Amino acid sequence: MSLNNTSTQYGSVAKFFHWLIFVFVLLQFFIGYFMEDISTNKILVGVIVNFHKLLGLTILALMVLRAVWAWKNPKPSLLNVSHWQRWAEHTVHGLLYLLLIAMPLSGWIGSVAGGRPPRYGTMPLNLPIEKNKELAGSAFDVHGSLAIIILVVVSIHLLAALYHHFIKKDDILRRML
């Protein structure tokens, strides 16, 4: 299997990015929704929240690399689909890129503005913004809303993949596996 995409197939790098980021995002949702309730031990909760922040920044870096890779590679085309399906595919994929870059950015901005930047060991990973409670509040509102939007868009994406595999019985899902 080639590293690069061809006009009909995803290469191994695109597949690697797709499934690694999928697993990380899944983990982020579990940690994000449950991290405050996992334990009454404040130190443990602090460690888990920081892990959520670091894994989120890892997703941000992977998404930027992935976007560069996608831009440099041909996008495998869809055969036998209508004009609107091609449009829907481009829109959903484009949205997924935007959402998974905006999501970690909103968390990062909120954490830094709230005075609790992610910590890599003892090193704070700061942004050039001042402490600002209002900004932190808005950034976390955005973070929470984006979480719901991502759940909706990924569900549409998943349903489309299942539709192609089980109803249209084409190789769209297989070429991402």
As measured in angstroms, the least distance from the Cβ of 129 to ligand HEM is 13
The residue from 16, 56, 83, 98 that contacts ligand HEM (CB under 6 A) is 56
- The residue among 146, 152, 154 whose CA lies nearest residue 108 is 146
Query: Contact with ligand HEM (CB under 6 A): which of 3, 38, 152, 161?
Result: 161
Residue 105's closest CA among 36, 59, 165, 67? 59
Q: Can you tell me which of 45, 53, 131, 159 binds ligand HEM, judged by CB under 6 A?
A: 53
Q: In the numeric block, which tokens belong to residue 59?
A: 């997703």
CA 110, CA 88: separation in Å to the nearest integer? 32
Cβ atoms < 10 Å from Cβ of 170: 15
Residue 168 binds ligand HEM (CB under 6 A): no
Per-residue contact track with ligand HEM, 61 to 100, x per CB under 6 A?
Answer: ---------x-----x-x----------x---x--xx--x
Q: Which two tokens stand for residue 50?
A: 């920081």
Verify binding: residue 5, ligand HEM, rule CB under 6 A: no
Site track 9-38 with ligand HEM (rule: CB under 6 A), x = hit: -----x---x---x--x--xx--xx-----
> Does residue 136 bind ligand HEM (CB under 6 A)?
no
Q: What is each CA distance from 171 to 10, 15, 21, 166, in whole angstroms?
A: 11, 15, 22, 10
Query: Is position 139 an interface residue for ligand HEM (rule: CB under 6 A)?
Result: no
Q: Which of 176, 163, 154, 7 is nearest to 78 (CA)?
A: 7
- Tell me the CA distances in angstroms from 150 to 99, 137, 177, one per residue in order: 7, 20, 22
The footprint of ligand HEM (CB under 6 A) covers 14, 18, 22, 25, 28-29, 32-33, 49, 52-53, 56-57, 59, 70, 76, 78, 89, 93, 96-97, 100, 103-104, 107-108, 111, 118, 140, 143-144, 147, 154, 157-158, 161, 172-173, 175-176
